[in-house]
Chains A and B, each alone.
Chain A
Amino acid sequence: MLKDFAIAGVGGQGGLLATTVLAQVFAEAGFDVKTSEVHGMAQRGGTVTSYVRRGQKVFSPAVPAGKVDVIVGLELLEAYRELPNLKPSGVVVSSDEKIAPISVITGDAEYPNLTEESFLQRAGEVYILPALSMALEAGNVRTSNMVCLGALSWILEIPASVWENEISKLVPEKTIGANLKAFSMGRRWMEKRRSPNIS
């Protein structure tokens, strides 16, 4: 069973909402659940990585280094930065969105060239999806987090309806439609690429 998840992104991308949805889905499915997050200064456009763990009994809210089963990336560089924490042969599901850190904007560093092969140095499976353009198609640019969750949902055993129910409870009422559409687009994207529920 896939138990330990990292959600990696940039402050403001909706990583904490994605964390909440994932954790509530697991709680709803009857697991012991813990999440670990960092708020405050770290959220101001900086790296934001949160963790969700499930199981019979969970102790540490943060996943020990090298034990993450799945990295959900909302931004490509941040997904890659989390890679050392992935279990060898773990799964990466990441948006292809690239947000330049300040050092790249000021020309002091270069945004690395990241491909599936870069991730396969450690990961067993890599899925990089155009989450941002799918979010735009879903009608709300801020729903790329739900696109990524949709893709993730396909490889977990919990029925889509549980996810959709939690998403509907957690997002602003006006955006439920766009969020659910984004979720199902992500799920369909993954459906075409991978067999289901082999967690």
Chain B
Amino acid sequence: MVTQDTFKRTSDSNPRLLYGNEAIALGAYEAGCTVAAGYPGTPSTEIIETMTRFPDIHVEWSTNEKVALEVVIGASIAGVRAIACMKHVGLNVAADPLMTVTYMGVRGGLVIVTADDPGMHSSQNEQDNRWFGKFAKVPILEPSDSQEAYDFTRVAFDISEEFDTPVIIRSTTRISHARSLVATSGKKAVGRKPYEKDMAKYVMLPANARRRKVSVLERVKKLAEFSDEAGLNRIEWGDDYIGFITGGISYQYVKEAFPEASVLKLGLAYPLPEKVIREFAARVKCLYVVEELDDFWETQIRAMGITCRGKDVFPGAGELSVGIVKQKVLWSLGCTDPGCGEKRGDASGGGPSNVAEAGLLNAAEPDLVPGTRSLPARPPVLCPGCPHRAVYYVIKKLGLVACGDIGCYTLGALPPLSSLDTTTCMGASIGHAQGMRLGLPADKAGKVVAVIGDSTFMHSGITPLINMTYNQVDAPVIILDNGTTAMTGHQGHPASGWNARHKESPKVAIEEIARAVGRRDVEVVDAYDTKSVERALRKALDQPSAVIIARAPCVLLARKKTQPVKFDLSLCVECGLCLRPGCPALEREGRKPKVNEILCTGCGLCVQICPRNALFAGAKGECPGPGDGVTAVEGRREGGDSTC
């Protein structure tokens, strides 16, 4: 039985400084979880990576999030505790099994972690995945720091088994990638539950599903009662002038901005504790609902007939902060909104003077330092020596319409390469390319290509490629194969040859898949060799059923580095061509390039571009490259022994 006592720790240990993600992983492991599956995605990646530290459980990078959740559901039905971890948009991919496993329920505890990215530090959208809890009628736990990430994950497995439901842990970037101290309580001994075939529960034929739907609705009611009683939601009484209903990272902002105010902290973000909310709302004069992104709680609280301030005060886009919470609340108290005045119960009273009396008004916003707003921005870039750069250089040179995808290579959209036309979601490049071929006038349609990474191709690029063959609308597909899921920190994938534990695993051959699904011209080229890339691309434009695999290991993983490129000032004609690919290792000095020897990996892209051989492979100092790139490319491969 999950009660308030669940949160009393059985043993104390020295608190450890842990990331939220590490705390979730440790909480799951110590709760007896034995199967963990996920697909890398910021800010969720380190959960699975941390799980690999425990040798006695199964941990995997699945092909995609849908597969991960399906593996985990299977493990749960079989009777063990299991966890699926993904970023917010990953849950879209896994939504299909989610929406039905909620009917089935669990046998072993089943926990799904969604790590949302308000502010889109590394994402294509900032969807608020709390809606998935309401949508799937599944409870959501929302931790506010690493200690709660640990505690909540442990208790999530208990809730899952007690209420026969999957449980979602919702984290955000500022929980997952923030560190705070965690006291742990030791590993729990949890046995395997005996397996019994139960078709009425686990085979979702319509007749079975209809019965299960009724039990889902009953479950939500019970969970709502539990929400009122469990220690997951708590009131911290303070000054009763302002009360905040908040949770997740917003709780920390509220506590810092208004340390004297009353706070109802929601740890169980869905279903809401209606009794507790009513009790709290009745005792405070001015009620604020502080939540990042959507009005998830606010709309439900208003539906209870409770007046509150929410998204009329706080922004619905991006992250909140201590400053935003403080500023918006103070602003709103000064305003004459009738709802707010009504809540104060006094049309003339309240407002900023009362706030000051309550000791809540504090500090002015800082003045900006003149000029700091207009500093040259430093957006992320493809790394020096990145094998994707040469491919984008050719795409730009040929004036192609390129449908992009999700990964490091999305950075090809940024200046000066500016080589992408679209980026939507994992695997979308290939379907988009097909659609653009259909929609554009003939002269433009012939220039459409798809650009997708190796891991993304495995994740969801294969089905749209089959679709192209089946429906006979072709566009060349360029697979940038750097042998790893690079953006998230170099995880393995089915075509990488190693698994989540960095152990060798069977390597799925991308070229064989492409041929097997009916692509006629499959060619593998050296991603650094601009001439080969250009030749293959020109050919593909005539034979659009082509798949070009531009292959070279991620430069951050490449074992051998060559000498930096050398520059002969006397040969430079200041044409600026070498600067066009935007390599961070090639700086500008007046109108000439200057090699940053610390950053330069000697990849040789600039050597291939320079028409005057002023840039040359640095392996043998005096030896200028031939300007066609062969020397530099081979020099890179052979650890610096160029062959001129």
Binding site for B on A (CB under 8 A): 10-12, 23-24, 27, 32-47, 58-62, 64-66, 77-78, 80-81, 83-85, 88, 99-112, 121-122, 141
| B375-A45 in contact (CB<8A) | no
Q: Determine which of A10, A45, A62, A108 lies in contact with B321 in the assembled complex, contact meaning CB atoms within 8 Å.
A: A62
Shortest A165–chain B CB gap in Å is 15
| B179-A23 in contact (CB<8A) | yes
Complex Cα–Cα for A35 and B179 (A): 5
B277 interface residue (CB < 8 Å to A): no
Shortest A53–chain B CB gap in Å is 10
B381 interface residue (CB < 8 Å to A): yes
Chain A residue with Cβ nearest B384: A45
Shortest A84–chain B CB gap in Å is 5
Q: Determine which of B173, B367, B586 lies in contact with A38 in the assembled complex, contact meaning CB atoms within 8 Å.
A: B173
Quick one: which of B412-439 are within 8 Å of A by CB?
414-416
Shortest B434–chain A CB gap in Å is 27
Chain A residues closer than 8 Å to B145, beta-carbon distance: 34, 61
| B252-A103 in contact (CB<8A) | no
| A103-B43 in contact (CB<8A) | no
Chain A residues closer than 8 Å to B415, beta-carbon distance: 102-103, 106, 108
A61, A103, A104, A106 interface centre (most CB from chain B within 10 Å)? A61
Complex Cα–Cα for A112 and B249 (A): 36
B180-224 vs A: 1/0 string, CB under 8 Å?
Answer: 110000000000000000000000000000000000000000000
| A41-B579 in contact (CB<8A) | no
Q: Determine which of B17, B322, B487, B584 lies in contact with A105 in the assembled complex, contact meaning CB atoms within 8 Å.
A: B584
Complex Cα–Cα for A10 and B379 (A): 10
Complex Cα–Cα for A59 and B381 (A): 33
Take A24-B17, A61-B252, A84-B372 as given contacts and tell me if A11 and B380 are in contact as well, using a CB distance cutoff of 8 Å. Answer: yes
| A40-B121 in contact (CB<8A) | yes
Take A60-B321, A104-B588, A106-B415 as given contacts and tell me if A27 and B375 are in contact as well, using a CB distance cutoff of 8 Å. Answer: no
Shortest B77–chain A CB gap in Å is 33
Complex Cα–Cα for A44 and B181 (A): 28
| A65-B321 in contact (CB<8A) | yes
Chain A residue with Cβ nearest B322: A64
Chain B residues closer than 8 Å to A66, beta-carbon distance: 323, 365-366
Shortest A11–chain B CB gap in Å is 7
| A10-B378 in contact (CB<8A) | yes
A to B CB contacts below 8 Å, 12 in the list: A32-B181, A34-B178, A36-B177, A41-B411, A45-B381, A60-B322, A62-B322, A65-B321, A65-B365, A66-B366, A78-B378, A101-B377
Take A60-B322, A65-B365 as given contacts and tell me if A39 and B256 are in contact as well, using a CB distance cutoff of 8 Å. Answer: no
Extra 14 A-B pairs, beta carbons < 8 Å, given A61-B252, A103-B415: A24-B17, A40-B487, A59-B253, A60-B253, A61-B178, A62-B174, A78-B378, A84-B372, A88-B366, A100-B587, A102-B379, A102-B414, A105-B582, A111-B376
| A84-B381 in contact (CB<8A) | no
| A102-B381 in contact (CB<8A) | yes
Shortest B82–chain A CB gap in Å is 25
Chain A residues closer than 8 Å to B322, beta-carbon distance: 59-60, 62, 64
| A58-B180 in contact (CB<8A) | yes
Secondary structure call for the B interface: loop
Chain A residues closer than 8 Å to B55, beta-carbon distance: none
Complex Cα–Cα for A78 and B253 (A): 25
Complex Cα–Cα for A33 and B181 (A): 7
Shortest B372–chain A CB gap in Å is 5
Q: How big is chain B's contact interface, by range?
A: 35 or more
B97 interface residue (CB < 8 Å to A): no
Chain A residues closer than 8 Å to B582, beta-carbon distance: 102, 105-106
| A84-B366 in contact (CB<8A) | yes
Binding site for A on B (CB under 8 A): 15, 17, 42-43, 45, 121-122, 145, 173-174, 177-181, 249, 252-253, 255-256, 321-323, 365-372, 375-383, 408, 410-411, 414-416, 487-489, 579, 582-584, 586-588, 598
Complex Cα–Cα for A38 and B408 (A): 16
Complex Cα–Cα for A99 and B411 (A): 19
Chain A residues closer than 8 Å to B381, beta-carbon distance: 44-46, 102
Chain A residue with Cβ nearest B179: A35
Chain B residue with Cβ nearest A26: B17
| B380-A41 in contact (CB<8A) | yes
A33, A35, A37, A60 interface centre (most CB from chain B within 10 Å)? A60
Chain A residues closer than 8 Å to B588, beta-carbon distance: 100, 104-107
Take A41-B122, A106-B416, A141-B598 as given contacts and tell me if A35 and B411 are in contact as well, using a CB distance cutoff of 8 Å. Answer: no
Shortest B605–chain A CB gap in Å is 14
Shortest B612–chain A CB gap in Å is 19
| B372-A83 in contact (CB<8A) | yes
Complex Cα–Cα for A106 and B576 (A): 9
| A36-B369 in contact (CB<8A) | no
| A39-B174 in contact (CB<8A) | no
Chain B residue with Cβ nearest A45: B381
A47, A81, A105 interface centre (most CB from chain B within 10 Å)? A105
Take A61-B174, A121-B369 as given contacts and tell me if A41 and B376 are in contact as well, using a CB distance cutoff of 8 Å. Answer: no
6 shortest interchain CB distances as A-B pairs:
A66-B366, A40-B122, A40-B42, A46-B380, A61-B178, A109-B376
| A40-B579 in contact (CB<8A) | no
| A35-B178 in contact (CB<8A) | yes
Complex Cα–Cα for A99 and B378 (A): 10
Complex Cα–Cα for A141 and B561 (A): 16
| B121-A41 in contact (CB<8A) | yes
Chain A residues closer than 8 Å to B378, beta-carbon distance: 10, 45-47, 77-78, 81, 101-102
Complex Cα–Cα for A45 and B379 (A): 7
